Amino acid sequence: MGSHRRKAPSGFDRGAGAVAVSLLSAAAAVLGAAGASAAPSAPAAPADDTRAEVDRLHTEAEQATEAYNKAEERTGALRGQVRRTQDRIARQQERVNELREALGSLAGAQYRSGGIDPSVALLFSDDPEDYLDKAAVLDRISEQQAGQLDELQDALRELGQERSEGAGKLVELEKSRKAVAAHKKTVETKLTEARRLLNSLTEADRAAYDRASRASRTDLPDLSGAVPASGRAGAAVAAAQSAVGKPYVWGANGPSGFDCSGLTQWSYAQAGVAIPRTSQGQRYAGRQVPLSQAQPGDLVTYRSDASHVGMYAGNGQVIHAPYPGAPVRYDPVGMMPIASVTRV
């Protein structure tokens, strides 16, 4: 009976087997490494990063816009102050000139009538009584001259103060003008960079971003049952609703385009109410109330620095001018962190 025992492997077979095992082990190691590297979540797509960066730039541009609006508002106020100061200086200078002219006339009259010693004049006078009458007049002229001299000194002192104040206002005005220019440059730089990034997107990604930017409510949402806080608040809401669909234009306060605080300021102006130009100023334009008590017409400011503002329209909606490329629209009141709710 033959033996069924397996033959011992030759040296060649043993070497081939070792190589095979080694190759399998190496393949397993490579596959394992590949599996391990694939385990973490995939990184964000470049388009997502670009969109996030564009949103950040728009936020920073809006903050710079509100700083620009504040500086521009201050510049306007200073221009008015400088103009009024210059008017006062002109009037005061005219008064000084009149006083000087009057004093000159009195001095001339006194010189012509009283140029010699009074006792000598009396001795040679043909009519002593007439002389005494003239002397009394001269005394009164001297008293009047002294009074007008005091008045002239006061007027000159006031004129100097007005000129000093005017010079200070002009210096402050120049600083404010420079601040306006600096903030304007910042806004334009941010928006230029945002446009550059948007233009770097593929056509499909750009279209998706544009759709998201315009994915808003420009139609009237259900605001039934929303009661304005006052008649003027109701008028302001109606004005804001009339602006829905108009473009965001930084630094603009209507009527063809708006930035965020420009929209709310313009809306209240249509109701006959003046409120500050900036979102930070509008935050304190009235009484602050809890969000739970918000009524149409209330101003809602956002972010910790109150750099964005919208108008509460009712039923959890605000009307606001979001950012460049997005029109005035309705959005949920909780679209970003709320800083305050202000009832004007």
What backbone phi and psi angles, to 5 degrees, belong to 170?
A: -65, -40
Active site includes 183? no
Are residues 263 and 254 in contact, defined by beta-carbon separation less than 8 angstroms? yes
Contact 233, 344 (CB under 8 A): yes
Quote the CA–CA distance of 153 and 207 in Å, as a whole number. 74
**Is 128 in a helix, a strand, or coil?**
helix
> CA-CA distance, 220 to 82, in Å (whole number)?
46
- Run of H or E residues at 20: helix 11-38
Which ranges constitute the DSSP H helices of 114-127? 118-123
- Residue of 4, 58, 183, 308 marked active site: 308
272 DSSP 8-state letter:
T
Helices 231-242 and 260-270, interaxial angle, to 10°? 130
Torsion of CA 121, 124, 127, 133, to 10 degrees: 0
Q: Of these residues, 4, 58, 183, 320, which one is catalytic? A: 320
CA distance 68 to 337: 23
Alpha helix segments (H runs only) across 127-202: 128-200
Cα-only R_g, the chain: 42
- ∠ CA(208), CA(210), CA(212), 5° rounding? 70
d(CA 234, CA 282): 17
Which region, left, alpha or beta, applies to residue 325 given φ > 0 means left and ψ of -120 to 50 means alpha?
A: left
CB 264 within 8 A of CB 308: no
Q: Which residues are catalytic?
A: 260, 308, 320
